[in-house]
Amino acid sequence: MNEFFNHIGKEIFEKLKETADYYTIGVDSKNNENDQHIELIAIFDLKKSKVIHWTGKFYPTEGQKRDLIKINDLNTHFTQINNQKIVILGCHDLNVFSPRGQANAKHSSWKRKTANKFKKLCREFKPDIILQHPHTTDSPNIWNLAWKTVEKELPYVKHYASGIKYYNDGHRPRGKPTKVLEKNKKRRRD
């Protein structure tokens, strides 16, 4: 992780430190021999120049069920920094809140049980902030239903955001960047 920050240059790193205390970043890795892969998220303390927390994706897409190395300890998604309770999500993890995604999951399935367990942990933790790390987002509607459900089920969440890589796999993006950003964040002023 330090190597990543060394490559962005000292001037940019210093500006980043002026703006924020912490930085979250997704890190993907794949084993080409067996096609297994893992999607991790690190919380980097900019003042101390070190990673202070790791978690990773726990809720695979249908296409990842066989090859994603899941982070089974759901508690790693919950942390407290600067007196703020924070939930860190991998790309598809936000879909535990999507009614559409849950409608397709059988009540006794691993998917439904995991989603229910994670939502219960969220209710107990009562996060102030939720940060999601999607790979790409080019439409304001991709995560909208899940975020609206978060607002309904976790009304105490003050802020949420999806880290946006505005991209559509070489195709024209489906939404305007301003709309995509608008629908994938919430900031409650107290």
Structure tokens at 62: 């249908």
Q: How far apart are CA 101 and CA 61, in angstroms?
A: 10
Q: How far apart are CA 10 and CA 161, in angstroms?
A: 27
Q: How far apart are CA 59 and CA 106, in angstroms?
A: 15
Q: What is the pLDDT along the chain (190 residues), one digit of tens a residue?
A: 667 777 888 898 899 999 999 999 999 999 999 999 999 999 999 999 899 999 999 999 889 989 999 999 999 999 999 999 999 999 999 999 999 878 888 889 999 999 999 999 999 999 999 999 999 899 989 999 999 999 999 999 999 999 878 889 889 999 999 999 898 998 877 6
Domain membership of residue 41 as a residue range: 2-187
Q: How far apart are CA 101 and CA 183, in angstroms?
A: 19
Q: Which residues contact 57 (CB under 8 A, 6 or more apart)?
A: 38, 39, 40, 68, 70, 71, 90, 91, 92, 93
| pTM of model > 0.85 | yes
Q: Which residues contact 127 (CB under 8 A, 6 or more apart)?
A: 78, 85, 86, 87, 154, 156, 157
Q: DSSP letters along 30-96, please?
A: E-TTT--EEEEEEEEETTTTEEEEEEE--S--GGGTTTB-----GGGGEEEETTEEEEEEETGGGGG
Domain with 166 in it: what CATH number? Answer: 3.60.110.10
* 129 DSSP β-pair partners: 86, 159
Instruction: Quote the number of domains for the chain.
Output: 1
Q: How far apart are CA 152 and CA 106, in angstroms?
A: 23
